[in-house]
Each structure stands twice: as C-alpha cells, then as structure tokens.
Amino acid sequence: MEAGFGTMSPEAWLIDESEDDQKLPFRQNPKEFISPNKLAEIGILFWHLDAKKYDIEEELKKFQESKGLNYMDFLELSRGKGEDCEEKLKDFFQEHVHAEEEIRYCLEGGGYFDIRDKSDHWIRVWIKEGDMIVLPAGLHHRFSLDTSNHVKLIRSFVKEPVWTSTNCSHEPLRRWSSLKAKNGFMSC
C-alpha cells in the first residue's frame, strides 16, 4: 500500500477562496481537477476499502502493521449535534499542521480535507465512505464536513493519540520552504 494508490482515486480539485458555507464543494470555474499523481507528489496516500468490513479488512491490517500503528479510535461528527461538535468542526477548519502523519479512514458520511500545494493553492480532497487517506507530517490542511453533515472516522496512531496541531495564520506563507526533510514538520 505504501507505494501508491488503491483501487480508486480521490476526487480532488483546486478551490476558490469562497466565504460561503464550508461544506460546499468550492470548485473553481472552470473546474480544475487534481490528478492522483499530483497528490502523490505532495505526499498524500489514498485507498478505498470496504468500510462495512473494516474490522476484518486485511489490507487495512497490513497497512497498520507496516506503519507500526497500534492505536486507533473513532471520531464521529454531525453538524447540529451540540456545541462540542460545532467547536471541533470550527477547530478542524482552522488551517493547521501536525508533527505526525494524519491517518483517517472514513466509515460513514463524508468530508473535505483542504490541503496547500507547493504553490500555496488550496486543493480540496473529498473523502467518502470507505476512503482512507494519509496526510504527511507538516502538510498545511484543514477539514470540513461535506453536505451530508456527518462523518465517522477511524483515526490511527503509532501510540496513544496526542492530537496536537499548530494553527497557522491566514497570511500567504512559503509553507514548503521550511520543510526540514522530506515530509518533515513545517512551521507556520
């Protein structure tokens, strides 16, 4: 699995800087889709697995073993399910980076990972049921629900999760210039 993409490619496109509802697609006009190869250049890995059989999915188990992932938890977000959920959604939509890879497997619903490319453009990657995505450490990103207003994810970690993020300002930055090593941590 480490070498590339699984049986399906994610839907990904450049987005406009719209201030509309964040769960909308934000496609540019004309639409500019992003190829799986471009995502791979950024360091994004993607697979589509059977979400109904996640507990017995052999490909998932092999991937977890190869990465030394020994802890996972479930995160369920549904818009309108209380202040705690709304606060999490607000935090996740703030542009941020992590010192570790972000590994997510979508079991239900859907959402968008917005990521910065090397030219400082936003790319929106749509994940849906069965999609597994790995964002490299140090990649500037944010997350939002899609119009389903619901997502249930498995979050995978090398050890007990310490979901630590560094929030970034909205000013344009040369985000990739501070890359210390391939897929290393980038400062904001």
The answer to whether 102 touches 134, Cβ cutoff 8 Å, is: yes
For residues 46 and 104, give the distance between their C-alpha atoms in angstroms, rounded to a whole number: 10
Q: Is 160 assigned a ligand-binding role in the annotation?
A: no
Q: Is 170 assigned a ligand-binding role in the annotation?
A: no
What stretch of H or E contains 62? helix 58-67
Q: Is 140 assigned a ligand-binding role in the annotation?
A: no
Q: Is 98 assigned a ligand-binding role in the annotation?
A: yes
Q: Tell me how far CA of residue 141 lies from CA of 40, 47, 138, 148, 159, in angstroms.
A: 15, 19, 9, 21, 22
Annotated binding site: 96, 98, 102, 141
Annotated binding site for Ni(2+): 96, 98, 102, 141
Annotated binding site for Fe(2+): 96, 98, 102, 141
